[in-house]
Chain A
């Protein structure tokens, strides 16, 4: 990720930190009519902001105290994602382990029986299905 010539975004729902140049994404649902403190996920600087119908009517002003609401996501000045706990709000999760970003390798259902939930090779097919599934149904 190039560190020069990154886009400058006009002040609004994207809060660019004046201290560390991180871009903080103040996601629309919680922030649309928000008034209070948020913080920069990159360097913990507290910012006071006021939004009315998504319009930034005052701030961001560097302040002090505790953040009332964390950003939904942030990227540092090089564009790398900032995702630590306490920096941004957690993502909705379906399981204990967080989103992996990749197709999962599943070979067993939640009750321990075979499921064709992982990529296959041509030689592992019988017709249009996985051989290990076809074998289960062999009479």
Chain B
């Protein structure tokens, strides 16, 4: 028998995203209805689509859902928005939350919609919706209605504040969730260093919230299919999710009345473990301001041994004496002189210069990479973390890969998204038995 390959090669072959399509899918045979808008609801359904579920996205006729109409700086759009509006496009705000889905349109306000939804739900395993609490119930397609049609249905509602309690009427916005839930107020440079609270650049509450909801859907499906045979109703509040993320803040406040505050790019629990500025740009000749900016790098040297090595490298052996013990250098008042010294040393270097010198000394570090550096980095490309998709609708699209890897039944990106109502005929014909003429009629009347 041949010698087993070395571990890294073994992993590379096992998790190669290019061989994913030769492997089975976990959620083959499962159907998910995605009656969702923006990011929170759609992303939950999208993660299930990556695992192989047939996900049907249901949007307003013609215009589709609002997120199609947002795009950074108004500039990049993918065309057509729909076959009715080829001159319009879908913005990149919509991108990433709707992978692998079939796209149909339906006007929920029309009387025919209730029947159509009921029939679709009868044939589905999961319903994901993030309309205001009570809306679907008023339309006759709430959990109370659809669970009678299909007791095995896992019905996932998502939103900002939930459907009960004093704040139930409040609208759901990602950054509102970040702000109200507490993550916004503790992120950013410290107040007494002139800093302000900082928004997480991603829709953290919504996109990560969608992952949390998908975890619960998968757990509910697991329970249904191995134990109970029953569906269930799940309520996910995105601001609740944010509050879950606050680490030691709540226990500390609860017992000792001490409020966690911002600590910028340093760490409250470990020193040295912080992001410092390097004085030189890595691309000084670039005309792109993003590249012309100076570099930044994370330096990790919190063990006594590593800290001593770091102090040698930066020419400040005195610091290793003054702050020899971690308990000393992790103190709030001591972190500042330590990081200032590291930054002073890095003032005439690029982040790559710094990384090289630290690597040589065996000190852990991570340069702060921008979107281009990540996109072009051989590590991320090899791993399929970012990948070029030959998208059947839009052509050559650069996209993110699935969040995690599985050896036997990997998640995968098949296509990125489609125009509004692309699959009306396919889905309504196949699943509801509508004739071609009925579909045309319904489209003309803008019921679908």
Any A–B CB pair closer than 8 Å: yes
Does A116 contact B78, Cβ atoms closer than 8 Å?
yes
Partner of B75, one of A92, A102, A129, A130: A102
Q: A109-B395, A111-B388 are in contact. Are A128 and B421 (CB under 8 A)?
A: yes
Does B86 contact A119, Cβ atoms closer than 8 Å?
yes
Alpha-carbon separation in the docked complex, A119 to B76 (Å): 11
Residues from chain B with Cβ under 8 Å of A114 in the complex:
395-396
Q: A96-B287, A99-B75, A116-B78 are in contact. Are A136 and B395 (CB under 8 A)?
A: yes
Does A120 contact B393, Cβ atoms closer than 8 Å?
no
A6 within 8 A of B: no
Does A127 contact B289, Cβ atoms closer than 8 Å?
no
Does A101 contact B74, Cβ atoms closer than 8 Å?
yes
Residues from chain B with Cβ under 8 Å of A137 in the complex:
392
B54 → A minimal CB distance (Å): 18
Residues from chain A with Cβ under 8 Å of B76 in the complex:
104, 106, 117
Q: How many chain A residues touch B (Cβ–Cβ < 8 Å)?
A: 38
Q: A115-B397, A128-B419 are in contact. Are A103 and B80 (CB under 8 A)?
A: no
Does A128 contact B80, Cβ atoms closer than 8 Å?
yes
A124 within 8 A of B: yes
Cβ-closest chain A residue relative to B80: A120
Does B83 contact A95, Cβ atoms closer than 8 Å?
no
Q: A124-B86, A130-B80 are in contact. Are A29 and B196 (CB under 8 A)?
A: yes
Alpha-carbon separation in the docked complex, A33 to B193 (Å): 13
Interface size class on chain B is: 20 to 34
Alpha-carbon separation in the docked complex, A107 to B388 (Å): 16
Partner of B395, one of A110, A122, A124, A133: A133
**Interface members, chain B 203-236 (any A CB < 8 Å):** none
Residues from chain B with Cβ under 8 Å of A109 in the complex:
388, 395-398
Cβ-closest chain B residue relative to A29: B196
Residues from chain A with Cβ under 8 Å of B78 in the complex:
115-117
Subset of 22 A-B contacts with CB under 8 Å = A93-B289, A94-B72, A96-B288, A100-B73, A101-B74, A102-B74, A109-B388, A109-B397, A111-B388, A111-B396, A113-B395, A115-B397, A116-B80, A119-B88, A120-B80, A120-B86, A122-B86, A125-B86, A128-B80, A128-B422, A129-B80, A130-B395
The 4 closest A-B pairs by CB, nearest first: A113-B396, A96-B287, A120-B86, A109-B396
Write the residues of chain A forming the contact surface with B, with a CB cutoff of 8 angstroms. 29, 33, 90, 92-96, 99-104, 106, 108-111, 113-122, 124-125, 127-130, 133, 136-137
Question: With A100-B75, A104-B75, A128-B393 given, can you name 19 additional A-B contacts, CB distance below 8 Å?
Answer: A90-B289, A92-B289, A93-B290, A94-B73, A94-B288, A103-B77, A109-B397, A113-B396, A114-B396, A115-B397, A119-B79, A119-B89, A120-B80, A125-B86, A129-B392, A129-B393, A129-B422, A136-B395, A137-B392
Write the residues of chain B forming the contact surface with A, with a CB cutoff of 8 angstroms. 72-80, 82-83, 86-89, 194, 196, 286-290, 388, 392-398, 418-419, 421-422
